[in-house]
């Protein structure tokens, strides 16, 4: 089979275009892999240092605790020591609040299993059933996500009231 000059030229041109496309593809593939490696490194760096700002703020609290401990070694005045510790706690709370942390304080509110953990129940005639009577351990949420539910004591109806209500319902049904 013989190829004329025109066909040979067209084949050479097609081969050159194919080679050019293959080189472009290899360069694009290398660029993609380099970009992926760079993004993976940036992601790792972000994860490593994401808390850097908060940690820097918490170092203030650490310094305050160290000063409080040194002060406690040199004084017998527990009132001054307590005031110092309360100041450190307020500073710590402010840092956490600035980072998006909120206290879950459900006292007097209806029990919510998404935000509260019932660890105790108590009969109560003053509050409606399933009302949080007491917060036993604070709960916390970070930017709307519950980190730790509040441990709470929840109201139940008194046993006698429950029996009386059942009698009333039964007598109404008989009517």
pLDDT band at 163; cut points 50, 70, 90: low
Summarize the confidence of residues 78-94 as an average pLDDT: 90
Torsion of Cα atoms, 19 then 24 then 27 then 32, to 10°: -140
Task: Give the domain extent around 144.
Answer: 103-175
Per residue in 108-150, pLDDT (tens digit) is 999 999 999 999 999 988 899 999 999 999 999 999 999 999 9
**CA–CA–CA angle 143, 120, 126 (5° rounding):** 95
In a domain, 34, yes or no: no
- Taking only the tens place, the pLDDT of each residue in 64-77 is 999 888 888 888 88
* Domain annotation covers residue 65: no
- Domain annotation covers residue 134: yes
Q: Residue 130 domain-assigned? A: yes
Whether 114 is in a domain gets the answer yes
Mean pLDDT of the chain: 89
Please check whether residue 126 lies inside any domain of the structure: yes
Q: Is the pLDDT of residue 7 over 60?
A: yes
The distance between the two most distant Cα atoms of the chain, rounded to a whole number of Å, is: 110
pLDDT of residue 166: 54
Q: Compute the distance between CA of residue 140 and CA of residue 150 in angstroms, rounded to an integer.
A: 7
| Cα 30 from Cα 43, distance rounded (Å) | 20
Residue 92 — very low, low, confident or very high, per pLDDT cuts 50/70/90? very high
Residue 158 placed within a domain? yes
In a domain, 173, yes or no: yes
Which pTM does this prediction carry?
A: 0.62
> Do you know the residue count of the chain?
175
Contact 157, 123 (CB under 8 A): yes
Question: What is the CATH number for 161?
Answer: 2.30.22.10
Q: Which two tokens stand for residue 115?
A: 């935000």
Question: How many domains does one find in the chain?
Answer: 1
Sequence-ordered strand ranges (E) for the chain: 101-104, 116-123, 132-137, 139-142, 145-148, 150-156
């Amino acid at each position: 089979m013989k190829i004329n000059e025109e066909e040979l030229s067209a084949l050479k041109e097609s081969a050159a275009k194919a080679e050019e496309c293959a080189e472009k593809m290899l360069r694009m593939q290398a660029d993609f892999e380099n970009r992926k490696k760079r993004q993976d490194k940036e992601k790792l760096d972000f994860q490593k240092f994401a808390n850097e700002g908060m940690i820097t703020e918490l170092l203030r609290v650490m310094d305050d605790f160290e000063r409080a401990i040194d002060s406690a070694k040199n004084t017998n005045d527990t009132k001054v020591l307590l005031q110092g510790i309360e100041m450190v706690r307020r500073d710590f709370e402010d840092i956490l609040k600035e980072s998006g942390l909120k206290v879950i304080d459900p006292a007097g509110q209806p029990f919510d299993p998404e935000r509260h953990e019932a660890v105790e129940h108590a009969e109560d005639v003053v509050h409606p059933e399933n009302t949080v009577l007491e917060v036993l351990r604070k709960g916390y949420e970070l930017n709307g996500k519950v980190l730790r539910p509040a441990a709470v004591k929840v109201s139940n109806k008194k046993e006698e009231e429950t029996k009386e209500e059942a009698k009333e319902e039964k007598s109404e049904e008989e009517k």
